[in-house]
Amino acid sequence: MKRKRVVLLVVALVLAFSAWPGQVRAEEKTAAFLDLTDLTGAIAGLAGTASKICEATIDYFNKQGGIDGVKVQYIGVDTRYDVARALSAYKRYRQTPHLLLANTISTGLGKAIYPLIERDRIINYTPGDGEFQARLSRTFIYSTPYQDGFAAALDWMKEDWQKTGHTGAPVVGFLSWDNPYGREPFRGGKEYAEKIGVNLLEAELFPVGSLKHDVWLNRLAAKGANYIYVGGVDPTQTNVIRDAHALGLTKKIQFVTDYWGPDRSVGVKAHPDALENAVVVSCFSRGTDTLNHPMMVEIWKQYMKTPVSEMLGASSIGFSWAMHYIEGLRIAMKDVGYEKLDGEAMYQAFMKLKGHDVTKGATGLCDYSPTSRRMSRYVKFYRVKSAEVVPITDWRVAPDAVSLHKF
């Protein structure tokens, strides 16, 4: 009977105390990063790789004690590039304690989720749509906006044209996916081309998933393109340039791709000859730069279980996601402490990142501020040489093409 009373008392106490977790149990301090990514779906090659490095970088810092004693809880969701799946996951995870940031790996997803970000007073990352710079909000572009990168490429093309003994400005073609991402560089980029006197041809846009690109390439060649800027996600750019090479066009047209262009471990590995001399503009380090980045190499060795020579270009994207979050968390902890750590504190912290070398050279200096949602103003140019991607410029400031367009 006495034992029965003791058992009943213990049960009652356990049930009672379980209703007040924060006050009784010692909690590990955590802050959450919700990654609405694509691990097995349409863009897993890019987003999935980036997310693996993001998670690895977070774990790397957690193993060293976290940020001022706060461990980052990485929550990875395989949205398979489906907005509905991302929304479903957001609904599930939005009340995670100290959820500070949601990463969205497509512009469509970022726009769909935005009202919820506002309601929940957290922040989110979005890929490269300049509209988020034109209309400042809680969304932070995780790259240099696409139109700024395109404008920097137009500058490079004009310089290259004149360096190779030509006068005036070149004729530039544009070839990309027929979707909002593919059209984005023209929103500001077209205006910039006019400003600097480059003859920018009408964009040629092809369906996502196209296997061959001869039709569009031949049209641009017939219109006299000296340079062609190619968008998509590798291996799309690789396949475009492969097709151009087969048509003999790479002998007379210089191909320049955007940030998601030929990856040293994907397209360059598959078609090194076709891609020889292709140029890539990027706001993330690529090729040999990533192989020489001490922290990224250390993380790759510890977590990826493959040789460093296999490091994918998308690695620097995920590294950047994690490092900006970590730096923001560091500032937020200093400003408000753990008890008051929330999305608003992270938002305020992110706006103090301007000028910080957050990624130790894997990107240019950060530009987030009260007037900027650009991860950085800086881009770098690379060239495919002998099956490797090598830098041909230092970090340089990209033009502000966003402000030229009326959004």
Partner 1 sequence: MKGIALKTWFLFLAVGILASGLTGCATLKGGPPGAILQVTPDKIILTPDLLKNPVVFSGSGFGPNEIVVIELILPKGVKVKGVPEGENGALGNGTSDAKGNIEIKMGAMSTLNTLFQVGWTPLIKPDFKQASPLPPGTYKVAATGMLSDRVGKAQLTILPPPEKK
- The amino acid that residue 388 corresponds to is E
Contacts with partner 1 by CB under 8 A: the residue count is 46
The CA-based angle 317-320-322, given to 5 degrees, is 115
C-alpha span between 142 and 160 (Å, rounded)? 28
Which of these segments, 9-17, 243-251, 307-315, 364-372, binds partner 1 (CB under 8 A)?
9-17
Cα separation values, 390 from 151, 309, 316, Å? 21, 14, 15
- With binding defined as CB under 8 A, does residue 12 bind partner 1? yes
92 binds partner 1 (CB under 8 A): yes
Taking CB under 8 A as the criterion, the residue among 24, 68, 88, 224 binding partner 1 is 88
Give the residue with the Cβ less far from partner 1, 34 or 193.
34
- CB neighbours (10 Å) of residue 361? 17
Instruction: Give the tokens for residue 230.
Output: 């190619």
Residue 8 binding partner 1, by CB under 8 A: yes
Q: Does residue 291 touch partner 1 according to CB under 8 A?
A: no
Task: Give a three-class secondary structure readout of 297-362.
Answer: HHHHHHHCCCCHHHCCCCHHHHHHHHHHHHHHHHHHHHHHCCCCCCHHHHHHHHCCCCCCCCCCCC
Nearest one of 84, 99, 180 to 345, comparing CA atoms = 99
Of 78 and 367, nearer to partner 1 (C-beta) is 78
Interacting residue with partner 1 among 29, 41, 218, 361 (CB under 8 A): 41
Cα–Cα distance for residue pair 11/8, rounded to 1 Å: 5
Q: Is residue 78 close enough to count as binding partner 1 by CB under 8 A?
A: yes
The whole-angstrom separation of Cα 174 and Cα 185 is 10
Q: 32, 71, 82, 338: which one contacts partner 1 (CB under 8 A)?
A: 82
Question: Which pair of structure tokens corresponds to residue 77?
Answer: 């969701």
And the tokens for 101?
């940031």
> Does the footprint of partner 1 cover residue 43 (CB under 8 A)?
yes
Q: Is position 165 an interface residue for partner 1 (rule: CB under 8 A)?
A: no
Residue 298 CB, shortest distance to partner 1, in Å, is 29
The reply on whether position 84 binds partner 1 by CB under 8 A is yes
Tokens of 245: 């090479």
Q: Give the 3-state secondary structure of residue 17.
A: helix
Using the minimum distance from each CB to partner 1, give the nearer residue, 43 or 341: 43
CA angle 42/323/403 to nearest 5° reads 75
Of 7-15, 182-190, 359-367, 386-394, which segment contacts partner 1 by CB under 8 A? 7-15
Neighbours of 111 (CB within 10 A): 17
For the window 218-257, what string marks contact with partner 1 as x by the rule CB under 8 A? ---------------x-xx--x------------------
40 is a contact residue toward partner 1 (CB under 8 A): yes
Tokens encoding 27:
């909690």
- Is 75 among the residues that bind partner 1 (CB under 8 A)? no
Near partner 1 by CB under 8 A: residue from 49, 51, 57, 79: 79
Q: Which of 116, 134, 221, 295 binds partner 1 (CB under 8 A)?
A: 116
Residue type, 299: I
Binding site for partner 1 (CB under 8 A): 5, 8-9, 11-16, 18-20, 39-45, 78-85, 87-92, 112, 115-116, 119, 208-211, 233, 235-236, 239, 266
